[in-house]
């Protein structure tokens, strides 16, 4: 075989490998750029917020000598570029500093509170997607009917009602008046500490341990905040699902399928719905990221010991180490979820490969 024939034979495979390498390199560069931008933003927040980190650490009763000593120990007397370099080095080593409230390393605090937020947001996303997507599909199929109008009203109320107000109303009615839900917290006091598992989720860990009393106690506590957050997610997902389905139902291939006598169920779920899966995956991922951010208010209302309540307390007491660590963690998780959804795209839709 000649040299030119060898080149031609290897050409298609080499070009695919090169294209794949370029995509991986581009994705990696985008992730690094996004993370670096997130670090710059969090660093800027820590320096621009009017709260004095030295006062937050030592209190406002300390003398001037102590203030100046701690000021130098924190490196605040260094140029900003040096401070940023120190900040990057600490983040690489997962050192977010010490919380002025708990007196613990922020990293250990985040490891303690974040599983509760993940549990709440995940359950709310499952509720929102499990109810919102079918509601949006049915509303699109029965456009203009009472089902469509009802779905749009339900979605509009969920999309426009403030979460903290809805949570307060639920507590006043179902806890204060009827006593159907617990007042707050993650589990009953007499069940605390009975189950400690690897996931940090009380629901999963209690199932793995076979501690069903702990499981039902945790489920009782998480039900109300998860349903409220899930309702908000359902409103968003139902609107987007309806919009995506309406666009697909207008396409010519749908008309062709119906002309061939294919059943309505097959047309909707096997043809139209299959073509909106990638779009739905995108909005579900965005909804999940939004719930991670939006749990701040609902955790405060229900005294849920998660990242939202931790961040709220940190903001109230100007604990900037805890604030920046929480914001950075939420940003990294959001980037990871978007990256994971991009990977799943390639398995769902061959056109994206």
Domain ranges of the chain: 3-92, 106-352
Instruction: Give the contacts of 280 (CB within 8 A, at least 6 positions apart).
Output: 133, 237, 240, 241, 244
In tens, the pLDDT along 288-330 reads: 888 887 778 888 889 888 888 898 888 888 788 888 888 888 8
pLDDT of residue 230: 92
Report yes or no on whether pTM surpasses 0.85: no
pLDDT reported for residue 135: 92
pLDDT at 351 over 70: no
81 or 1, higher pLDDT? 81
User: CB neighbours (10 Å) of residue 48?
Assistant: 7
Task: Count the alpha carbons within 13 Å of 329 in the hemisphere toward its beta carbon.
Answer: 28
Residue 42 exposure: Cα atoms within 13 Å on the Cβ side: 23
Q: What is the mean pLDDT of residues 262-268?
A: 85
Which residue matches tokens 């309505």? 264
Whole-number Å distance between alpha carbons of 333 and 237? 21
At 156-213, the pLDDT tens digits run 888 788 888 888 899 999 888 888 888 778 888 888 778 877 888 888 888 888 888 9
Give just the sign of the alpha carbon dihedral 313, 319, 322, 324: positive
CATH of 106-352, one of 3.40.50.300, 1.25.40.10, 1.10.10.10, 1.10.3720.10: 1.10.3720.10
pLDDT digits (tens, 9 = 90+) for 210-258: 888 989 999 999 999 999 999 989 999 999 999 999 998 888 888 888 8
Q: Which of 122, 38, 114, 31 is nearest to 339 (CA)?
A: 31
The CA–CA distances, whole Å, from 279 to 8, 196, 240, 276, 292 equal: 38, 38, 9, 5, 20
Give the Cα-Cα-Cα angle 200, 229, 150 (nearest 5 degrees): 145
């Amino acid at each position: 075989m000649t040299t030119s024939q060898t080149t031609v034979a290897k050409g298609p495979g080499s070009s695919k490998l090169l294209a794949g390498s370029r995509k991986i390199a581009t994705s990696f560069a985008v992730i690094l750029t996004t993370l670096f931008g997130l670090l710059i933003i969090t660093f800027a927040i820590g320096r621009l917020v009017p709260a004095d980190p030295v006062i937050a650490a030592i209190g406002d009763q300390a003398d001037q000598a102590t203030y100046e000593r701690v000021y130098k120990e924190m490196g605040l007397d260094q140029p900003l570029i040096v401070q940023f370099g120190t900040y990057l080095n600490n983040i690489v080593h997962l050192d977010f500093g010490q919380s002025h409230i708990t007196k613990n390393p922020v990293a250990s605090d985040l490891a303690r509170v974040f599983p509760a937020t993940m549990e709440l947001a995940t359950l709310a996303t499952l509720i929102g997607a499990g109810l919102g997507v079918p509601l949006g599909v049915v509303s699109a199929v029965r456009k203009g009917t009472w089902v469509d109008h009802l779905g749009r009203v339900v979605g509009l109320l969920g999309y426009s009602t403030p979460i903290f107000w809805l949570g307060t109303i639920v507590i006043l009615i179902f806890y204060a008046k009827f006593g159907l839900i617990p007042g707050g917290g993650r589990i009953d006091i007499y069940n605390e500490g009975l189950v400690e598992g690897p996931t940090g989720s009380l629901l999963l860990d209690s199932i793995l341990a076979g501690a069903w009393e702990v499981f039902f106690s945790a489920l009782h506590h998480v039900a109300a905040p998860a349903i409220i957050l899930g309702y908000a997610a359902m409103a968003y997902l139902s609107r987007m699902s309806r919009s995506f389905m309406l666009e697909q139902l207008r396409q010519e291939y749908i008309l062709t399928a119906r002309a061939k006598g294919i059943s309505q169920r097959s047309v909707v779920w096997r043809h139209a719905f299959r073509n909106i899966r990638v779009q739905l995956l995108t909005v579900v991922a965005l909804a999940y990221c939004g719930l991670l951010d939006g749990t701040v208010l609902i955790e405060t209302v229900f005294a849920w010991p998660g990242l939202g309540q931790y961040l709220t307390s940190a903001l109230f007491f100007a604990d900037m180490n805890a604030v920046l660590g929480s914001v950075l963690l939420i940003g990294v998780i959001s980037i990871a979820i978007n990256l994971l959804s991009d990977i799943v795209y390639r398995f769902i839709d061959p056109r994206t490969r």
